[in-house]
A and B are shown apart, each in its own frame.
Chain A
């Protein structure tokens, strides 16, 4: 299983100074739409890359935003990643860009919309696509439970799942369900990659602030998922409150712990197909 981090400007120096600490980087497409594109060829020479999208808004009915898709595809061409990923969410409507991920109604109609858009993204980019579960305070009534909803989308779109462990745990606490029972409803063959980062506790609910060290219960849940599904990569998704080199090394050790505690003998993974 590949172990890596989400590439951020703030982590660039650490990545340069600690070769071998990670063997995989996830670059966020939107961070490279208008700047820093010259960084990508150097990264792809040294690491297995994946390109992660935030704003394609796969759940919005109607055509995908052509300009955003073109920008995304351009980053993919420059990075030449092993795979690409996006969220099962909507970030905009025809009249408004909300700028962040929002949940979708879990219906068959939504499955069709997201799957169609996902196929288009994979076709345009020419890379395998993974779809990610989001954290949301809001749930929209629908006729499918979330694991079935995600499974149907993946099957219809012919893509894999990027399971965000933190989003799963945060949702399970905020909406009171068993995260273990939840992920066991997924076909293990679909789970190709994991995201993980510490959560924050804000009074009466958890949030995925992407700014905290990974907690023990996340490690335990991730290890359980790895034993169940054997994903091919795990990525630390830190966006703020970046730790120093020692702190980063400690976070990577947690990822290694997840990897080694789950499989007695494990070679370097292959990119999701």
Chain B
């Protein structure tokens, strides 16, 4: 299927720009080239080329901030561990990641932090992963960085409620 058979409309192209920092950088360097690579509809090309890079960046930043505000309540321990760096770390993660739901956004952020060897709460990862399953319960043994004792985490689903118990295995 060629690009000309199904050209991309203006809002689709704009959404791709707003959700992808690398694409915005490419747009700032050469908007014509990005329009062609996206397969933009001819009727939308002139409008697309008039978009201002600085304004795109500011709008994209607003969107990322809304995402951050939406997920940080789901991962309070991790947010607390990251302290003043939390927003900057999230911005780095969000350069190209755009998961479809707040839950998966929070989960992918934790996975990013783990990969980057940055502070995160593994029990919050377990909790979010459990939320995405249909399991009735699960156990996880967690060894938190900088915390001496392992923790046994029990997740239990009762109706629509999730119970999350944590037992410190202090021997």
Which residues in A have some Cβ–Cβ distance to B below 8 Å?
A: 59-61, 90, 92-100, 102-105, 136-142, 205, 207, 240
Whether the Cβ atoms of A207 and B11 lie closer than 8 Å is no
Residues on the A chain within 8 Å of B50, using CB = 141
CB closest chain-A residue, reference B49: A141
Shortest A17–chain B CB gap in Å is 24
Size class of the contact patch on chain B: 20 to 34
**Within 8 Å of chain A (Cβ to Cβ): is B87?**
no
Further contacts, 16 of them, CB under 8 A, given A93-B11, A99-B63, A141-B50? A59-B11, A90-B15, A92-B15, A93-B15, A94-B12, A96-B98, A97-B100, A98-B19, A99-B66, A100-B66, A105-B47, A138-B58, A138-B59, A140-B14, A140-B51, A141-B46
User: Smallest Cβ distance from A165 to chain B, in angstroms?
Assistant: 19
Q: Which B residues lie within 8 Å of A61 (CB)? A: 9, 11
Report yes or no: B11 in contact with A90, Cβ–Cβ below 8 A: yes
| Pairwise interchain contact B19-A102, C-beta atoms closer than 8 A | no
Considering only CB atoms, which chain A residue lies closest to B9 in the complex?
Answer: A61
A137 with B10, Cβ < 8 A, contacts A97-B100, A100-B66, A102-B18 known: no
Say if the beta carbon of B52 comes within 8 Å of chain A: yes
Report chain B residues within 8 Å CB of A105: 10, 47
From the candidates B12, B62, B70, name the one contacting A93 in the complex (CB within 8 A).
Answer: B12
Q: Which residues of B contact A142 (CB under 8 A)?
A: 47
Assuming A61-B9, A99-B63, A136-B59, is B14 touching A141 (CB within 8 A)?
no
In the complex, what distance in Å separates the CA atom of A76 from the CA atom of B129? 32
Residue of B47, B66, B98 touching A141 (CB-CB under 8 A):
B47
Residues of chain B whose beta carbon lies under 8 Å from any beta carbon of chain A: 9-12, 14-16, 18-19, 46-47, 50-52, 55-56, 58-59, 62-63, 66-67, 69-70, 98, 100, 102
Majority SS at the chain A contact face: loop
* Nearest chain B residue, comparing its CB with the CB of A139: B55
* A95-B15, A98-B18 as given contacts; A138 in contact with B63, CB under 8 Å: no
B98 to chain A: which residues have CB within 8 Å?
Answer: 96
Q: Would you mind naming 12 contact pairs between A and B with Cβ atoms under 8 Å apart?
A: A59-B11, A60-B11, A93-B12, A94-B12, A95-B15, A100-B62, A102-B14, A105-B10, A140-B10, A141-B47, A141-B50, A240-B69
Contact A137 B59 (CB under 8 A): yes
